[in-house]
Amino acid sequence: MPLITYRKALNDALAEEITRDENVVIIGEEVAQYNGAYKVTEGLWQRFGDKRVVDAPISEAGFIGMGIGASMLGIRPVMELMFWSFAYVAWDQIINNAGQVRYMSGGLINCPIVIRGPANGGTSVGATHSHTPENFIANTPGLKVVCPATAYDAKGLMKSAIRDNDPVCVMENTLLYGESWEVPEEEYLIPLGVADIKREGTDVSLIAHGRAVITALKAAEILAAEHDIHAEVLDLRSIRPLDEEAILNTVRKTHRAVLVDENKPFCGVSAQIAATIQEKAFDDLDAPVQRVCALDAPAIYSPVLENLQLPTVSRIIEKVLQIR
């Protein structure tokens, strides 16, 4: 299988879906002539032209709302946010319009829109550019949200998101765009709502999503090599819908869970996972559920400190050792 980058995997997914469905259109800032601020849409404008790949002015509320309106008529816009951190100026459109219109119309209207872009800390761009709003989106019934951790997942999830008939938010990661993974050449889809065991283990479950999966995998390696602890790493991949069965299964297998989450702890994704485990697998637990989240302050600029603020391998190992 060829090794391709997370960025290229997304690019391939977009190209394949534009080719497959004439209603798919990419809209966003710098997505066409500039090739994408993070080059995810590189070459697509040259290949597919003005109608299918559209540069928008810096008007997130305007163009995201426009995409939602167009999706009500059956267009399938894939909207790029240069950063998910900029979603807040379009928040009303995303939450109130994309998220609620199906419900408030008693099911008469639906919005097959995808909103995508990077949502991560760790790049020293300060608090305004480092948000991870997957918990906010997941807190909104009517919206779906996925956070791929590998190139393989990014491609498969993006293609499913575009074909989905509900609004799907895809949260990517600038630190992963340049990383490579094996991706098959033949077409495949990854359904939303299916988690993936990225490493089998027996002693403790590390449950994560997005780049936290990569951090958890590194921790698992050290735990095995230095402490003879065999951690299972479960990648949620999709936050809403959520693969609750996979979460419960891994906890029933290892009886210990450490949740690794680049979201903040208070009402973050890990809070929901912890609640689920204590509600449904309490008797299977041999230790309290532990969490390793982003430290609970705005994302700090200072590169050294920011690396400490996000979940680190050593914090994960420390938590595992506490409940071994």
Q: Does 30 bind another protein (CB under 8 A)?
A: no
Q: How far apart are CA 17 and CA 27, in angstroms?
A: 14
Residue recorded with tokens 């449950």: 207
Roughly how many angstroms between the first and final C-alpha of the chain, as a whole number? 37
Q: Does 164 bind another protein (CB under 8 A)?
A: yes
Strands 3-5 and 180-182 turn out to be antiparallel
22 among known catalytic residues: no
Q: Does 187 bind another protein (CB under 8 A)?
A: no
306 among known catalytic residues: no
Name the segment binding another protein (CB under 8 A); options: 116-124, 223-231, 241-249, 298-306. 241-249
Residues making up the chain, counted from first to last: 324
Name the segment binding another protein (CB under 8 A); options: 69-77, 169-177, 294-302, 310-318. 69-77
Q: 244 vs 318, which CB is nearer to another protein?
A: 244
Q: Does 69 bind another protein (CB under 8 A)?
A: yes
From residue 299, give the alpha-carbon distance in Å to each of 69, 88, 94, 127.
34, 16, 23, 4
Q: How far apart are CA 114 and CA 162, in angstroms?
A: 6
From candidates 19, 47, 49, 104, binder to another protein by CB under 8 A: 104
Q: Does 68 bind another protein (CB under 8 A)?
A: yes
> What does R_g of the chain's alpha carbons equal in angstroms?
19
From candidates 15, 61, 224, 287, binder to another protein by CB under 8 A: 61
> Which residue of the set 17, 29, 129, 134 is catalytic?
129
The DSSP secondary-structure symbol of 235 reads E
Q: 194 vs 222, which CB is nearer to another protein?
A: 194
> Which residue of the set 60, 80, 134, 172 is catalytic?
60
Name the segment binding another protein (CB under 8 A); options: 72-80, 129-137, 256-264, 300-308. 72-80
Q: Does 293 bind another protein (CB under 8 A)?
A: no
∠ CA 315-317-323, nearest 5°, is 105
For 206-236, b/e burial (b = at least 16 CB within 10 A) is bbbbbbbbbbbbebbebbeeeeebebbbbbb
Residue type for 226, please?
E
Q: Does 72 bind another protein (CB under 8 A)?
A: yes
Point out the residues that are catalytic.
60, 129
Residues that bind another protein (CB under 8 A): 25, 51, 56-57, 59, 61-75, 92-93, 96-97, 101-110, 112, 141-142, 144, 160, 164-166, 191-194, 238, 240-244, 272, 279
